[in-house]
Amino acid sequence: MKFTNGYWLTRDGVEPHYAAQAIESERQKRELVVYAPDRIVRTRGDTLGTPLLTIRYASPLENVLKVRITHFEGGIPPRPNFSISDETDFTPDIRIVDQGATFRTGDLSVFIEHSLSERHAERWRNSFFGKDRLLTKNEAKSTGYMLVTEGGKLKKFIKEELSLGVGECVYGLGERFGPLVKNGQTIDIWNADGGTASEQAYKNIPFYVSNRGYGVFVNDAGKVSFEIASEKTSRVQFSVSGEVLEYFIIYGPSPKKVIERYTALTGRPALPPIWTFGLWLSTSFTTSYDEKTVMSFIDGMLERNIPLSVFHFDCFWMKGFNWCDFTWDKAVFPDPAGILSRIKAKGVKICVWINPYIAQRSPLFGEGRRNGYFIKNPDGSVFQTDQWQAGMAIVDFTNPSAVLWYTDLLSKLLDIGVDCFKTDFGERIPTSAVYFDGGDPERCHNYYAFLYNKAVFELLERKKGRGQACVFARSATAGGQRFPVHWGGDCESTFEAMAETLRGGLSLGLCGFGFWSHDIGGFEGTPDPNLFKRWLAFGLLSSHSRLHGSNSYRVPWNIDAESTDVCRFFTELKASILPYLIETAKEAHEKGIPMLRAMFLEFPEDPACAYLDRQYMLGSDLLVAPVFSADGTVSYYLPDGKWRNFFSGEKTEDPGWRTECHGYKSLPLWVRDDTVAHHIRHPCLIRG
């Protein structure tokens, strides 16, 4: 949110109250507390009739610094809140002297300057250091309590600004489909069902990583507005509504270490079952299908020697207008247990589509309404909308009884052979709703995705066992990385959409989401053979791989004959490197480092990698450059090091840009330090 009109003026309707000086600091147990009025205090009279900001510095984990800025502290703490880890087995170093106060946790510290004289009175400056190297700082007009009048209504905000150095780049903030480097962008952390071609995102995370060795996590489940070198070109500003803003500075110094510490704070991904790393095939969305169609797809894959791991039933396994009733449409699936048994006999796992909405026509609607299982309007009526299924209600996952009811319905599906769920939707959550636990509806908007996926994932862990749970989720917020896998949402069938999809995955990975997928060939429309075959290579060199679309079947032989060969080739290629992928997956689980990695994450010292978003590292040792052109031409950058071409065995130690033309069974794929096999030897089937 922008508060200023240029550098000097404020916008109409904005009344700023900036921290002007640190008037006093004191130690309170494990916290450093600093008091900052919005004016220079020269006499006792200056302490009257003016706001005073209280800034508390603490440390939940070593090398992680919590900053909490408060105007009024007497409010009722809003809910929900992110779950944050807090260790108490170390003692921060807090020192207060005349010149200022220092709070140190591990190698990370902050120094708050005190005003020592009339000449230095108007100086609000906090400087954050990593091993005594300046990371970032906030100065005059950085920290503020802002009153904004819009349409005759007064709104209150707390905002903070952190400086950006020359050449400093900002990454992350969720699955964002625009430029990888976020400098110059305005970003609101607000989940939306906006596809992959806009500024909106399904997975919004109030966390960013800087290439200067630190990250910032704003601990607010509601809307957080970021101005990244946009309102002020040398600062990142973030603001929230209300009287409190809390954020964390997380020290690296490497970007990997930043992500490792961020996920220690907010949670690390569970390790998905091995079978999830194989190829998934879907019925697609609006296509017509029955048992004959489904079995023809599965048998067709096996007959063509394309290893298949999972078959997914999309929405219309249930009857239209009934989503969700969790009941198989008898007109096309008269024997659900039978078909699932016949599929599993072929060594294929089963996924079914669900969402957290109950249509008015569903037999479950009346039950949910009577028992108070749905989100309500302020007048006590059930919130309903026609935007998806007619008259649908939204399950209230803050109600433990509603969670039990919902997961019991899913449990019956697991009992007849379903292995996992595609947890679709969860973004269009109203902000005027009333929740069972009294949670703030604005904060619940993003957090709903966490509660929804948590409920389903924990059911799978209970029924299948730890290490055997997997969802295929679209929406998420901070902490949602704990419940893999996530996929990129609704993209078009174009090369441009393929590129924006990759940018989204790279940004999400930099927020600690270890496992990620996307719809091979794009969701909207039908991909032409050229695009489909290029996307197959990209999709099967992602952590998880799924053939899915909107209104067209995505079995490869429906595209063209060569697509079948290309699909088999890259499915077997992925199978051949499965041991490497599993080790990479374990690193994601244990440290939060994503499988699909932006080049800057692996090569932070190489300035050429800072802006690269058309190539990536799959784990630490495989460089992948998808082909985004119809003629097979691709330009990519090979960083300094020892490399071996995966296909040809060519070795090189010459870094730099390369431009090549590739056939459909090839793409730039390089092995770093000769750490994994450089060609396919014995492809194996990935089976459950």
Q: What is the per-residue DSSP string for 72-123? A: ---SPPPS---------SS--EEEE-SSEEEEEETTEEEEEEPP-SSTTSS-
The residue whose two tokens read 């709070």 is: 103
Q: How many other C-beta atoms can be found within 10 angstroms of the C-beta atom of residue 123?
A: 16
Q: What are phi and psi of 101, to 5 degrees?
A: -125, 145
Mean pLDDT of 598-624: 98
User: For 502-528, how does the pLDDT look when each residue is reduced to its tens digit (9 = 90+)?
Assistant: 999 999 999 999 999 999 999 999 999
- What is the rounded CA–CA span in Å between residue 178 and residue 175? 9
Catalytic residue among 193, 325, 424, 602: 424
Which of 145-149, 260-264, 609-613, 683-687 shows the lowest mean pLDDT across its residues?
683-687
What sign results for the dihedral spanned by CA atoms 213, 218, 219, 223?
A: negative
Q: Which CATH superfamily is domain 596-672 in?
A: Golgi alpha-mannosidase II (2.60.40.1180)
User: Which two tokens mark 411?
Assistant: 């449990």
User: For 575-607, how does the pLDDT look when each residue is reduced to its tens digit (9 = 90+)?
Assistant: 999 999 999 999 999 999 999 999 999 999 999
User: For 316-363, how does the pLDDT look when each residue is reduced to its tens digit (9 = 90+)?
Assistant: 999 999 999 999 999 999 999 999 999 999 999 999 999 999 999 999
Which segments of 511-560 does DSSP mark as H helices, in order? 529-539
Counting Cα atoms < 13 Å in the Cβ hemisphere of 493 gives 22
Mean pLDDT of 3-13: 95
| SS3 label, residue 59 | strand
The residue whose two tokens read 């299924």 is: 389
Q: Residue 122: which pLDDT band, with cuts at 50, 70 and 90?
A: low
* CA neighbor of 505 nearest in space, from 426, 417, 380, 596: 596
User: For 10-68, how does the pLDDT look when each residue is reduced to its tens digit (9 = 90+)?
Assistant: 999 999 999 999 999 999 999 999 999 999 998 999 999 999 999 999 999 999 999 99
Catalytic residue among 38, 227, 325, 427: 427
- What is the rounded CA–CA span in Å between residue 301 and residue 53? 64
- Give me the amino acid identity at 139: E
User: For 444-462, how does the pLDDT look when each residue is reduced to its tens digit (9 = 90+)?
Assistant: 999 999 999 999 999 999 9
Q: Which CATH superfamily is domain 274-354+399-430+437-591 in?
A: Glycosidases (3.20.20.80)
- What is the rounded CA–CA span in Å between residue 85 and residue 66? 12
Which of the 8 DSSP states describes residue 493?
S
Position 279 pLDDT exceeds 90: yes
Q: What is the per-residue DSSP string for 283-303? A: --SS----HHHHHHHHHHHHH
Does this chain's domain 4-266 share its CATH topology with 596-672? yes
Q: Residue 673: which pLDDT band, with cuts at 50, 70 and 90?
A: confident
pLDDT of residue 612: 98
CATH class entry, domain 4-266: mainly beta
User: For 408-428, how does the pLDDT look when each residue is reduced to its tens digit (9 = 90+)?
Assistant: 999 999 999 999 999 999 999
pLDDT of residue 641: 95
pLDDT of residue 88: 74
Catalytic residue among 220, 314, 490, 519: 490
Alpha-carbon separation of residue 338 from 292, 335, 658, 662, 684 (angstroms) = 13, 5, 53, 45, 28
User: Which two tokens mark 231?
Assistant: 């309102």
User: Which two tokens mark 95?
Assistant: 């020192």
Which are the contacts of 314, defined by CB distance < 8 A and separation ≥ 6? 282, 283, 284, 285, 353, 422, 548
- CA angle in degrees (0–180, nearest 5) for 545-578-538: 35
pLDDT of residue 234: 97
Mean pLDDT of 682-686: 38
Whether 303 is catalytic: no
- The distance in angstroms from the start CA to the end CA of the chain is 49
Mean pLDDT of 72-96: 91
pLDDT of residue 684: 38
User: For 521-564, how does the pLDDT look when each residue is reduced to its tens digit (9 = 90+)?
Assistant: 999 999 999 999 999 999 999 999 999 999 999 999 999 999 99
Which of 2-6, 307-311, 633-637, 684-688 shows the lowest mean pLDDT across its residues?
684-688
- What is the rounded CA–CA span in Å between residue 224 and residue 1? 9
Helices H / strands E in the chain, number of each? 11, 39
Position 120 pLDDT exceeds 60: no
pLDDT of residue 186: 98
Q: Domain map of the chain by residue range? A: 4-266, 274-354+399-430+437-591, 596-672
CA 603 from chain centre, in angstroms, equals 22
Write down the mean pLDDT value for the chain: 95
- pTM given for the model: 0.96
User: For 158-185, how does the pLDDT look when each residue is reduced to its tens digit (9 = 90+)?
Assistant: 999 999 999 999 999 999 999 999 999 9
Which segments of 198-350 does DSSP mark as H helices, in order? 255-266, 291-303, 336-344
Whether 562 is catalytic: no
Whether 660 is catalytic: no
pLDDT of residue 674: 67
